[in-house]
Structure 1
Amino acid sequence: MDFDLKQIFTAFMVLFAVIDIIGNIPIIIDLRKKAGHIQSEKAAIIAGIIMVVFLFVGQRLLNFIGVDVNSFAVAGAFILFFIALEMILGITLYKEDDDGDAITASVFPLAFPLIAGPGSLTTLLSLRAEFLIENIIVAVIINVLVIYVVLKTSAKIERLIGPNGIKIIRKIFGVILLAIAVKLFAANIKELFI
């Protein structure tokens, strides 16, 4: 085990920006109104399990279909780039179907695909190309804890920050995510031409 605080922090920030749990507070509030109640523990744990399992199985899946990690990381960089553009410009490039009943609201669409969605799963494999797996797992666990706290206190956070505060946070994380996407693209595109 070779824990590196810098890698853990960077992986945490990347995942935090991609998952965008603060920016998703309005969606969480809507789900809570529709479903009546959201099981925060269940949603956070299921999202965490999906992410950790994909971190291990995703690599084998890629090998099975004949795609290397660097190619996947470049594809991931494009997805991060477009997610960042959505956050910065306030536009929607990708529309989620969010019709779920009260029983499944904690899992669909909250745990998957809102938290552990295409963006975060692609990001995990992209991070795997750069960081040690144990550091990524620690970053996932910290994110799951943050997600749980945010889900539990989403109504209070929304009142505290306000709609403008949420917009500002989204834009700040969008810029960070854009920079990370460019770095990820630059680091992995070279490997494809060697």
Structure 2
Amino acid sequence: MEFNFKDIASVSLILFSVIDILGSIPIIIDLRKKNNGELKALQATIVSGILMVAFLFLGQEILSLFGLDVASFAIAGGLIMFLLGLEMVLGIDFFKSDPETSHSTVVPLAFPLIAGAGTMTTLISLRAEYSQASVLISVLINLIVIYAVLRASKWIDKKLGATGKAVLRKVFGIILLAISIKLIKTNIILG
């Protein structure tokens, strides 16, 4: 296994920008609030990691098995992100939490926010350009950052205050809407 630190740094930064865990803080805070203060940080991180690694190795094959292409998958993920953005901007709840399920914060947190269509299509692209070892190490680095942000979300929530959360929620909601529209538009053109 060959370690190229420049490649690891490049791939880590690419994944970090695509995953955008810092931009997801308002959604994470909302999910925590919807689930009575509960957020399964370790579970969401592990599920995200499994999804990313599985898609790294089997992404094209999984999509082909269902007769899907990457563009269709990206459009579906974009639609889910669009609904999350609408929730943030308009205050409408599309994703209801079920108190009887223990994985209620994993969806939509692990998928589509962390290991969503953008992340998965990026992994397919990275696999073609970088070594698997570099991509795997970069996924692990990003999972550590994701876990740290998820664990610190209660502290971040307290530091922001009600006004800070409201402003951050609206701003990142609009950004999420724009990202989802770009993802959908780009993949409609490609598809």
Do the aligned residues in 1 keep the contact of 2:16 with 2:142 (CA within 8 Å)?
yes
Q: 1:92 deviation in Å?
A: 1.5
- Superposed CA deviations along residues 101-142 of structure 1, whole A, max 9, x for unmatched, are xxxx5xx234x324312454333334457x424687677545
C-alpha distance in 2 between matches for 1:12 and 1:58: 19
Q: How does 1:109-124 map to 2 (within 5 A)?
A: 109-110=104-105, 112-119=106-113, 120-124=115-119
C-alpha distance in 2 between matches for 1:113 and 1:5: 29
- Which residue of 2 is the match for residue 161 of structure 1? 160
1:60 aligns with 2:61: yes
- Taking structure 1 as the reference length, the TM-score comes to 0.68
- Which residue of 2 is the match for residue 150 of structure 1? 149
C-alpha distance in 2 between matches for 1:6 and 1:180: 22
C-alpha distance in 2 between matches for 1:155 and 1:72: 32
Do the aligned residues in 1 keep the contact of 2:8 with 2:137 (CA within 8 Å)?
no
1:15 aligns with 2:19: yes
- Superposed CA deviations along residues 59-98 of structure 1, whole A, max 9, x for unmatched, are 3221011111122222222222222222222222232324
Distance 1:162 1:96, change over 3 A: same
Instruction: Please state whether the residue corresponding to 2:86 is helix, strand or coil.
Output: helix
Q: How does 1:35-184 map to 2 (within 5 A)?
A: 40-41=41-42, 43-100=44-101, 105=102, 108-110=103-105, 112-119=106-113, 120-128=115-123, 131-133=125-127, 140-184=139-183
C-alpha distance in 2 between matches for 1:175 and 1:151: 22
Distance 1:118 1:8, change over 3 A: same
Stretches of structure 1 lacking an aligned partner (at least 5 in a row) = none
* Corresponding letter in the other structure for 2:182: K
- Superposed CA deviations along residues 23-48 of structure 1, whole A, max 9, x for unmatched, are 323543675867xxx77545533432
C-alpha distance in 2 between matches for 1:61 and 1:47: 16
Instruction: Please state whether the residue corresponding to 2:144 is helix, strand or coil.
Output: helix
- Which residue of 1 is the match for residue 28 of structure 2? 24
Percent of pairs with identical residues: 34
C-alpha distance in 2 between matches for 1:59 and 1:27: 31
Instruction: Please state whether the residue corresponding to 2:116 is helix, strand or coil.
Output: helix
Aligned length: 181
Do the aligned residues in 1 keep the contact of 2:55 with 2:123 (CA within 8 Å)?
no
Distance 1:39 1:184, change over 3 A: closer
